[in-house]
Amino acid sequence: MNKGTVVRYLFGKFARLLVLIAAVATLSFVLVSYSPIDPVDAYVGAAVLKISPEQRAVIAQRWGLDRPPVERYLKWAGHLARGDFGISTIFNQPVLAVIGSRFVTSFWLMALAWSISGLLGFGLGLTAGAMEDSLVDRGIRFYAYTMASTPTFWMGMVMLMFFSIYLGWTPVGGAWPLGLSGAQATLGQRLHHLLLPAATLSLIGVAQIALHTREKTIEAVRSDYALFARAQGESTLGIVFQRAVRNVALPAVTLQFASLGELFGGAVLAEQVFAYPGLGRATVEAGIRGDVPLLLGIVLFSTFFVFTGNTLADIIYRLVDPRISGIRRAES
């Protein structure tokens, strides 16, 4: 791609991101406004029966809950346009500060699970496709279909019960030992707490990439160039791992980056099961306790996160196979 094409591509992506953020922000605010959870009751908690109507009014006025929804939305959108996401009612801190600190913890969980599931799923898919209808292929498909239909929270509870309770190999929960802060915990301690949640997300995430890679591998094995290579004496495994890997890797990369949204959703459930203090658990707390600024901030951040993943997949696809940009220019 030349410089002009790159500029037009990036400008188009940025414009789509702005439209997407505006639509998600509006829809999310409307849904939160009609939530059955009273933000004041959620903020006060167990002391809700002890506060007077005057105290409720003061709390509502402090958080702007005494204003009409349209006025609250316009005020929130104005602050959002200036980069101000508001103050979290749970943590009494700026929303961006809460998201930043919690995302650092969640990032290592999602990055490890994403890497393991991508590499393992791609390898299993290649193996199953190269050995179509064999016992190995049927075993991989059975595993993938089983994991694809297994809820993340159920798998997390099974892993927690077996490895933490019965065997005692891993901690019951948390991101570091009790009594220590994140800064005080060593790398080994953090990895020890990270292992089981990451393994849970990885086992679930393998399914989609493995099944998709298997189908693409079978197509590659049945292609004309594969038949020609086989006629020259090359084995099926040689064709798959030497000639077909690049063609199979292109859709696999796109699918893996596109799965970031599912990964984020799975992390929310896994962090609840393992009491992992990341962004996913903060999302659940914000929803249950009516922390509207934090909940909306996390929704917008996750939108940007998933959009960035899809954009990176598109860029990598173009770099690996330059024919894509040429085809799209011809079509336009």
The burial of 133, by beta-carbon neighbours within 10 Å (0-12 exposed, 13-18 middle, 19 or more buried), is given as exposed
Q: Give the pLDDT confidence score for residue 228 in this predicted structure.
A: 76
pLDDT tier at 331 (50, 70, 90 boundaries)?
A: very low
Q: Are residues 204 and 71 in the same domain?
A: no
> Smallest Cα–Cα separation from 303: which of 106, 18, 75, 80?
18
Q: Name the 3-class secondary structure at 87.
A: strand
The more confidently predicted of residues 233 and 330 is 233
As a whole number, mean pLDDT of residues 201-212 equals 89
pLDDT band at 4 (very low <50, low <70, confident <90, very high): low
The reply to whether 322 falls in a domain is yes
Q: Output the DSSP codes for 11-61.
A: HHHHHHHHHHHHHHHHHHHHHHHT-SS-HHHHHHGGGGGTS-HHHHHHHHH
Q: Which domain holds residue 72?
A: 3-81
Verify that 262 and 121 share a domain, yes or no: yes
Which candidate, 264, 287, 302, places its Cα nearest to that of 90? 287
Write down which residue in 18, 49, 81 finishes a domain.
Answer: 81
Question: Is residue 44 located within the same domain as residue 175?
Answer: no
| Whether residue 200 has pLDDT greater than 50 | yes
Better-predicted residue by pLDDT, 290 or 105: 105
Flag whether 87 is in a domain: no
Pick the more confident residue, 35 or 208: 208
pLDDT computed for residue 42 by the predictor: 67
Q: Which pLDDT belongs to residue 140?
A: 93
Residue pLDDT, tens place only, 127-137? 888 888 889 99
Cα-based distances in Å from 63 to 255, 290, 300: 41, 12, 20
- Has residue 45 got a pLDDT over 50? yes
Whether pLDDT at 3 is above 70: no
pLDDT digits (tens, 9 = 90+) for 135-180: 999 999 999 999 988 888 888 889 989 998 888 888 887 777 777 7
Is residue 284 within 8 A of residue 112, CB to CB? The reply is no
**Token pair 């279909």: residue:** 145
* 136 lies in the same domain as 228: yes
- Tell me how far apart the alpha carbons of residues 331 and 71 are, in angstroms, rounded to a whole number: 45
The count of structural domains within the chain is 2
Q: Identify the domain boundary among 48, 81, 114.
A: 81
Same domain, 53 and 107: no
* Residue 207 shares a structural domain with residue 281: yes
Rounded Cα gap, residues 311 and 177, in angstroms: 37
Residue 2's pLDDT is: 61
Average pLDDT, the chain: 81
Average pLDDT over residues 228-243: 74
Question: Helix and strand tally (H, E) in the chain?
Answer: 15, 0
Residue 72 has pLDDT above 50, yes or no: yes
Q: What is the pLDDT of residue 239?
A: 74
Q: How far apart are CA 271 and CA 198, in angstroms?
A: 10
Averaged pLDDT, 109-120: 90
Mean pLDDT of the region 7-36: 85
- Residue partners of 58: CB distance under 8 A and separation at least 6: none
Q: Residue 279 in contact with residue 105, Cβ under 8 Å?
A: yes
Longest dimension (CA), the chain: 87
Q: pLDDT tier at 44 (50, 70, 90 boundaries)?
A: low
* pLDDT value, residue 332: 42
Give the lowest-confidence range in 51-65, 182-196, 299-313.
51-65
pLDDT of the residue at 50:
66
Same domain, 304 and 267: yes
pLDDT digits (tens, 9 = 90+) for 279-316: 888 888 888 777 888 888 998 998 888 888 888 877 77
Q: Are residues 237 and 303 in the same domain?
A: yes
